[in-house]
């Protein structure tokens, strides 16, 4: 089978890949990822729900490998709210991921809750959980099977196939995610366990259980001498800081790490990090994936904050930069909903970057 006009060897290759995908015995699906993982906080960890102490909405878009047919498009939209009287955060997130070659797509909607615990004066902990409903689907009408080709010429000779896969397959399944986040004035450490139930996501053939994903993420913010924005009566301090961060993910047979640094020179934020695990080989190949570059803009008002970011993944794996790398955009807006007549609540704020 094939998509479009391709040599016969490619038909066989794609057929093998599809059978592996459907059987679920040799290939394990991975979750989509965002380079700007802190701009997708609820996707990263449900403990981030309500973490700004305000109301917040945001969206993330990622286009991976746009120069080849097997590209991936992922979009996420979220909103969360801090319930001050209950020391709690609530949130909702919608994700949609689509693979270009076979049309495999996944859509999910999740609701989450977190609670803030003050351990000591300078250390807090936020546990969180998320319940999610997934829909996974594929349209087999976009595929061409071997019995539709002339074996001698490789040309399509029939618009119909005897394969009884139907015009499309779709499956719904629930899932559960748990998370926790320790943080102080300068640092934080979080852990997430996604797909606790390891649901069966198979569309056909043998069961294909979605493996649990364990993610750890941490960082430390070094505050520098603040700058000054505005003049006269309207001047205010602007943040200057350097923030090294890391994220490590394990899912099934796959492991990945992000290691980098953010520099904040308000209103501009720039960052760069490395994705890969140089000390670990996969089938004899060093796990080097990409170098990520970020530029972001932040606008802080008296009671609201707007963050806009763009990042580019420069591919350093065997796939090479000819794949087109990955483009990612984020926009997040948060605003205060508390009664200004109330005295400010003494609480810690998570110092992690906005992107």
Range 119-132 average pLDDT:
96
pLDDT at residue 295, rounded to an integer: 98
Whole-number Å distance between alpha carbons of 336 and 334: 7
Spell out the SS3 assignment of 242-275.
EEEEEEEEEECCEEEEEEEEEEEECCEEEEEEEE
Residues 6+ apart with CB under 8 A from 153: none
Whole-number Å distance between alpha carbons of 200 and 137: 13
Range 153-168 average pLDDT:
56
Query: Token pair 């750890």 is at which residue?
Result: 216
Per-residue pLDDT for 1 more than 60? Answer: no
Per-residue pLDDT for 93 more than 50? Answer: yes
Q: Give the Å distances, CA to CA, from 133 to 130, 170, 174.
A: 10, 13, 4
**Which has more pLDDT, 355 or 187?**
187
Whole-number Å distance between alpha carbons of 127 and 183: 12
pLDDT digits (tens, 9 = 90+) for 246-256: 999 999 888 99
pLDDT digits (tens, 9 = 90+) for 100-115: 766 788 999 999 999 9
Pairing type for strands 123-138 and 187-194 reads: unpaired
User: Contact, 260 vs 273, CB < 8 A?
Assistant: yes
Query: Token pair 């980098």 is at which residue?
Result: 260
Q: Which CATH architecture has domain 8-335?
A: Beta Barrel (2.40)
What predicted TM-score, i.e. pTM, was given to this entire model?
Answer: 0.84
Model confidence at 282, pLDDT cuts 50, 70, 90, reads: low
pLDDT at residue 27, rounded to an integer: 39
The token duo for 77 is: 């939209």
pLDDT digits (tens, 9 = 90+) for 142-151: 566 666 666 6
**Which has more pLDDT, 184 or 170?**
184
Whole-number Å distance between alpha carbons of 215 and 345: 31
Pairing type for strands 326-335 and 240-251 reads: unpaired
Whole-number Å distance between alpha carbons of 237 and 244: 22
H or E, element range at 181 = strand 169-183
pLDDT digits (tens, 9 = 90+) for 313-350: 999 988 788 888 899 999 999 999 887 777 777 788 89
Whole-number Å distance between alpha carbons of 1 and 3: 7
Q: Give the Å distances, CA to CA, from 286 to 256, 282, 290.
A: 12, 6, 12
Query: Token pair 């308000």 is at which residue?
Result: 266
Q: How many residues does the chain have?
A: 355
pLDDT at residue 155, rounded to an integer: 65
141 C-beta neighbours (distance < 10 Å), count = 12
H or E, element range at 22 = helix 8-23
Q: Give the Å distances, CA to CA, from 175 to 129, 146, 253.
A: 11, 36, 20
pLDDT digits (tens, 9 = 90+) for 8-57: 433 433 443 343 333 333 334 578 899 999 999 999 999 999 999 999 99
Whole-number Å distance between alpha carbons of 245 and 119: 23
The token duo for 193 is: 């366990």
Cis omega (within 30 of 0) for bond into 267: yes
């Amino acid at each position: 089978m094939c998509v479009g006009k391709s040599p016969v060897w490619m038909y066989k290759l794609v057929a093998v890949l599809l059978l592996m995908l459907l059987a679920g015995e040799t290939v394990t699906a991975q979750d989509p990822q965002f380079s700007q993982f802190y701009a997708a906080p609820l996707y990263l960890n449900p403990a981030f729900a309500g973490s700004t102490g305000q109301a917040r909405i945001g969206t993330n878009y990622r286009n991976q490998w746009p120069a080849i047919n097997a590209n991936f498009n992922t979009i996420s939209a979220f909103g969360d709210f801090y319930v001050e009287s209950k020391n709690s955060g609530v949130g909702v997130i919608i994700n949609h991921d689509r693979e270009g070659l076979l049309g495999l797509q996944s859509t999910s909607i999740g609701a989450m809750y977190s609670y803030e615990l003050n351990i000591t004066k300078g250390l807090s902990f936020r546990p969180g959980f998320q319940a999610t409903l997934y829909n996974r689907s594929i349209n087999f009408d976009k595929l061409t099977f071997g019995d539709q080709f002339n074996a001698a010429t490789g040309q399509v000779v029939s618009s119909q196939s005897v394969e009884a896969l139907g015009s499309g397959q779709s499956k719904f399944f629930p899932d559960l995610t748990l998370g926790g986040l320790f943080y102080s004035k300068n640092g934080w450490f979080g852990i997430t366990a996604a797909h606790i139930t390891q649901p069966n996501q198979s569309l056909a053939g043998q069961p294909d259980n979605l493996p649990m994903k364990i993610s750890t993420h941490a960082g430390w913010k070094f505050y520098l001498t603040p700058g000054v924005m505005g003049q006269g009566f309207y001047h205010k301090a602007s943040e200057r800081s350097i923030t090294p961060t890391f994220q490590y993910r394990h899912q099934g047979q796959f492991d990945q790490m992000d290691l980098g640094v953010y520099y904040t020179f308000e209103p501009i934020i720039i960052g760069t990090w490395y994705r890969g695990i140089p000390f670990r080989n996969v089938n004899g190949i060093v796990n080097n994936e990409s170098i990520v570059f970020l530029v972001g803009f932040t606008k802080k008002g008296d009671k609201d904050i707007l963050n806009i970011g763009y990042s580019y993944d420069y591919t350093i794996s065997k796939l090479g930069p000819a794949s087109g790398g990955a483009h990612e955009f984020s926009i997040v807006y948060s605003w205060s909903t508390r009664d200004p007549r109330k005295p400010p609540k003494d609480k810690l704020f998570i110092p992690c970057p906005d992107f």
